[in-house]
Amino acid sequence: MAQRKMIVFPTKNEVSEAMAAYTAKLSAKFIKEKGLFTVVLSGGDLIDWLCKLVQPPYIDSIEWSKWHVFWVDERVCAWEDPDSNYKLAMDGFLSKVPIPDKNIYAIDKHSAADGNAEHCAALYEDCLKNLVKEKIIPISKKTGYPEFDLQLLGMGPDGHMASLFPNHPQINEKQKWVTHITDSPKPPPKRITFTLPVINSALYNLMAICDKPQAKSVAEIMKHNNFSLPSAHLSAQVENVWYLDQAAASEL
Ligand SMILES: O=C1O[C@H](COP(=O)(O)O)[C@@H](O)[C@H](O)[C@H]1O
């Protein structure tokens, strides 16, 4: 598994530029190697920081039609709900680039609106399994879990990543690929999330953290390897890179 690599940038703007360059480089590499690129998004502030991808030079140079887009976690609510990670990504990023609709794998619309978190997680896992059969997602020979090319992750001030929260059992799930939570400490309470083995089976994981509220958890992870914080468990098969701004790195 890849060692954690950290780069501190002066401001959020440089984090955003570096994320775009990293994503574009991997997009070109994987599309050249296998004709497609699987990208996993999170919600939260990260979507704002992806803004550089919808500007020149990336908007015109990325082969968007070869992208397949997933969510590492999703809130169990209607697609139109302001809490929806799908809506956030559609409004701020995906609606501005020509990715075919069929390549955008959102939470099941009806079950999400019905609010059944367990069913939504099972359906999302079925969706991934079908894509394994269709050879869009390989199963890693090393881990036995689905292998995404790139995941773009964020961390909450409490050290959570995806919807894996401190002191909640989802972090220990090893059988399922996608699990659910109904008592998330951060609203909304019902969510689905990739499990840790799936998150760590990605080839490249890019964790982007900006702003002061995250600084304490960043220091706990970097200085003390505090594994009670879910983000401390992040790894990857090839590269596990953390991009921070000065504010997030201020307690290091
Ligand atoms: O609730 C969530 O929080 C995390 C972190 O979000 P941020 O706004 O603190 O950056 C996010 O990565 C996750 O996808 C989201 O559902």
**Could you tell me if the CB of 159 is within 6 A of ligand 1?**
no
Q: What is the pLDDT of residue 1?
A: 80
Residue-level pLDDT at 3? 86
ipTM: 0.96
Give the model's pLDDT for residue 130. 98
Mutation choice for ligand 1 from 39, 40, 41, 46, CB with most ligand atoms inside 8 A: 46
Residue 85 alpha carbon to ligand 1 centre in Å = 9
Centroid of ligand 1 to alpha carbon of 32 (angstroms): 31
What would the pLDDT profile of 135-153 be if each residue is shown by its tens digit?
999 999 999 999 999 999 9
Using CA of residue 8, residue 87, residue 36, residue 134, what is the dihedral sign?
positive
Q: Are 102 and 114 in contact (CB under 8 A)?
A: no
- Which atom of ligand 1 is the closest one to the Cα of 184? 1
CB neighbour class for 120 (10 Å; exposed up to 12, middle 13-18, buried from 19): buried
Cis peptide before 57 (omega within 30 of 0): yes
- Pick from 39, 50, 84, 160 the residue to mutate for probing ligand 1's pocket: most ligand atoms within 8 Å of its CB: 160
The two three-digit tokens of residue 90, written as one number: 């559609």
Pairing of strands 191-194, 73-75: antiparallel
Q: What is each CA distance from 224 to 144, 213, 244, in whole angstroms?
A: 30, 18, 17
Distance from Cα 134 to the centre of ligand 1, integer Å: 30
Q: Which regions of the chain are under pLDDT 70? A: none
Q: Determine which residue's CA is closest to atom 7 belonging to ligand 1.
A: 44
Q: How far is CA 169 from its chain centroid?
A: 20
